[in-house]
Homo-oligomer: A and B are copies of this chain.
């Protein structure tokens, strides 16, 4: 492949401008920042903490939306849309809840040239505005379960360091808000939703997750308990990628959500709320990408295959015609394909550009390949190129995309599993975290112990894995020395 190498050189020359200038290992945060902007996933807006989702990233969100939406609808959830403005008095109706959110609410105080009588919160989450209506709509057991979801934007005026996809002042998410006649139904749903999230992350994003229950300190403001999905990032920090909260009757009591059961007896309802956000994209990007750029799971890659024709003067027209024919064939087969026939850029420049943008498969087509009825195929997560008969491409490509997905998931899962270490003392936990790992520890579960430990070390509880090995009799809490009640994951967290 002399042709390609020749091209590559020129590509390298330009790399300093367009490619990544730091590695994942030497400066993870700078690597991430360069990666997402240079690959054209996002851009900055004039408002700090608010970012632009460009087509390449919004496409991924659309795929997540389509996939998860089908799952929850098949399960009986209905979509709706509630206003984003919440009167201050309404937001304050559930005490724990408002305490949790008030510090980061953006307030509208003026409409046109008129000062509003009561200021309006832009939803930091929609429990309060939705449950105000639920109280009106729910009268009898016939009205239950009520299972609504909305895909919308959310505002939380963060004062910590904002990071695109991870910590934002405005972000997109879905929020499910469901009401049941019994606690059992609600608890069952809360767990089922975690399963849907796990499937979505695995099937679309090739990201393995740690699923479990949050500690009392870390649970949602107003919830009885919170379940979470956590992913491990290459810098050793955990990223909470979604939550499913069982609210018990807390909000039902605050908002007076009551129903008459079959015996005409009035009861407070049981509720859940659950959500994932575009943070899922951040999880995916950080998990898979490398020092050449993005590595996109094929199912969510806006462009799955790029064709780069090698346009030498003596055979330009033939090669271009063959490339166009190939493009049309792949497109007709439902593959998301792009033909990069720009003459202003060298092949090598293009190779670097499309690797930076994470396109799963690159096909190179030169005069000699054409003679042999072949193309060179380069799969994004592999080092070697291979020569493939054109006639085989329509079967080879879907297979390659599928195995790339499998490889990505397996690699991430192996890494996740080997990053969890059992520990039984503060020191062991700190040592594990120092090595970019997560510690599985016997814990008493007290909020005081967690708060003190976090203050001292920056390490916090993540979740208590659903899959709990039995605690040996007499096992002591790694923090307090009191009786441990469960295994819990601890680590640094975003």
Footprint of B on A, CB under 8 Å? Answer: 43, 45-47, 50-55, 58-59, 61-62, 78-87, 90, 102-114, 119-120, 122, 129, 132-133, 136-137, 142, 148, 152-153, 157, 159, 169-170, 172, 342, 344
Contacts and interface: CB of A to CB of B under 8 A. Distances in A.
A108 B442 CA distance: 46
21 contacts: A43-B133, A43-B137, A45-B133, A46-B129, A47-B85, A47-B86, A50-B83, A52-B80, A52-B81, A55-B80, A59-B79, A85-B169, A102-B112, A106-B111, A107-B108, A107-B109, A107-B111, A108-B122, A111-B169, A112-B157, A142-B344
Contacts of A86: 46-47
A261 to B, nearest CB: 13
Contact of A152 (B107, B111, B153): B153
A46 B111 CA distance: 16
Which are the 10 A-B pairs with shortest beta-carbon distances? A111-B157, A50-B83, A55-B78, A53-B81, A107-B110, A47-B85, A45-B83, A58-B80, A112-B157, A103-B112
Contacts of A103: 112-113
A264 B133 CA distance: 59
A81 B58 contact: yes
Nearest to A105: B112
The majority secondary structure among interface residues of chain A is: mixed
A154 to B, nearest CB: 11
Contacts of A153: 84, 152-153
A50 B82 CA distance: 8
Nearest to A51: B83
A55 to B, nearest CB: 4
Nearest to A55: B78
Copies in the complex: 2
Contacts of A106: 108, 110-112
B83 A136 contact: no
Contacts of A107: 108-111
A54 B80 contact: yes
A79 B50 contact: no
A172 B152 CA distance: 10
A105 B86 CA distance: 17
A87 B46 contact: yes
Contacts of A108: 106-109, 122
Nearest to A120: B47
Contacts of A80: 52-55, 58
Contacts of A45: 82-83, 85, 129, 132-133
Contacts of A82: 45, 52-53
A364 B114 CA distance: 55
Contacts of A105: 111-112
A302 to B, nearest CB: 8
A342 B140 CA distance: 13
B170 A83 contact: yes
B148 A55 contact: yes
A79 B58 contact: yes
Contacts of A109: 107-110
A112 B51 CA distance: 19
Contacts of A120: 47
Contact of A172 (B54, B62, B81, B137): B81
Contacts of A50: 83-85
A58 B174 CA distance: 15
A445 B178 CA distance: 55
A79 B54 CA distance: 8
Q: Which of A46, A52, A148 lies at the interface centre, i.e. has the most chain B CB atoms within 10 A of its CB?
A: A46
Given A106-B108, A109-B110, A111-B157, A83 B52 contact: yes
Given A84-B170, A106-B111, 8 more contacts: A45-B132, A53-B82, A85-B169, A109-B109, A109-B110, A114-B157, A122-B122, A142-B344
Q: Which of A62, A112, A114 lies at the interface centre, i.e. has the most chain B CB atoms within 10 A of its CB?
A: A112
A81 B45 CA distance: 11
B90 A46 contact: yes
Contacts of A85: 45, 47, 50, 169-170
A79 B59 CA distance: 7
A465 to B, nearest CB: 34
A50 to B, nearest CB: 4
Contacts of A169: 85, 111
